[in-house]
Amino acid sequence: MANLILVRHGQSQWNLENRFTGWYDAELTDQGKEEAKKSGELIKKLDITFELAFTSFQKRAINTLAIILDELDQKNLTTVRAWQLNERHYGGLQGLNKAETEQKHGKEQVMTWRRSYTTQPPKLSREDPNHPIHSKVYDKIDPKLIPDTESLLDTYNRAVPFYTKEIETLLKNEKNILVSAHGNSLRALCKKILNISDKMITKLEIPTGNPILIEMNGLQLQSFKYLDQSRAKEIITNQ
Task: Kindly name the residue from 34, 35, 71, 87 that is annotated as catalytic.
Answer: 87
In a domain, 113, yes or no: no
Q: How many domains does the chain have?
A: 1
Domain boundaries, position 41: 2-90+150-231
Q: 3-state DSSP call for residue 104?
A: helix
Cβ atoms of residues 71 and 37 within 8 Å: yes
89 is catalytic: no
In a domain, 106, yes or no: no
CATH number at residue 166: 3.40.50.1240
In a domain, 114, yes or no: no
To which H or E segment does residue 40 belong?
A: helix 30-44
In a domain, 7, yes or no: yes
In a domain, 122, yes or no: no
In a domain, 239, yes or no: no
9 is catalytic: yes
In a domain, 123, yes or no: no
In a domain, 223, yes or no: yes
Residue 238, pLDDT > 80, answer no
Q: What residue type is 87 in one-letter code?
A: E
What pLDDT is recorded for position 92? 95
Give tens-digit pLDDT for 18-65. Answer: 999 999 999 999 999 999 999 999 999 999 999 999 999 999 999 999
